[in-house]
Amino acid sequence: MLKLDTLSYKYVIKADRTEFFNTLMALQLDYFKQNDPRIQQLDEGTSISCQLPTKVQKLDVQSQITVKKIASNQAFVLETLSSSGSIRQSFLFSQDKKGRDILTYSEENHYNQARSQYSFMLVGFLYQFFYNRQMAKRMERIDQIALSNS
């Protein structure tokens, strides 16, 4: 069971798992390059600085995103640090009982101020609804790109 500070979404992958993973990595590399054109590939430890909105207050804050783990076709993990706290984003690949490839995307949120953590937990259930809709669109987009590449 996930903690109250963790948002999670499961998606059944339609494309080949390797193609989906490669597409995810290519899109992440593009995002990193937008913030630092010197980056040519993603490795564990690759990091960028950028402005990102906070979840609770919707204020832009200076943030640092770092690749924490890359395990081909298994996992991709990012950590975002800012003055308001940290977010650990995980893309974890597995198979269900029917042998289908599943991607579980999760965001584990930690806030520096107890008030922000409490505020997030209060709106968390409502936020989860919008989060699920957004994640469904995002995963479908990645899947469609992966399918078109195969």
Question: Does 8 have pLDDT greater than 60?
Answer: yes
Q: What percent of the chain has pLDDT over 70?
A: 81
Q: For residue range 38-52, what is the model confidence (pLDDT) as tens digits?
A: 999 999 999 999 988
pTM to 2 decimals?
0.84
Domains of the chain: 6-149 (3.30.530.20)
Q: For residue range 38-90, what is the model confidence (pLDDT) as tens digits?
A: 999 999 999 999 988 765 566 788 999 999 999 999 999 999 998 878 889 99
Backbone dihedral region for residue 139 (phi beyond 0: left; psi -120 to 50: alpha; all else: beta):
alpha
pLDDT value for 59: 74
pLDDT value for 2: 39
> Among candidates 4, 3, 20, 38, which has minimal Cα distance to 92?
20
Distance of CA 46 to the CA centre of its chain: 15
Find the DSSP H helices in 36-113.
none
Find out whether 5 and 55 touch, Cβ atoms under 8 Å.
no
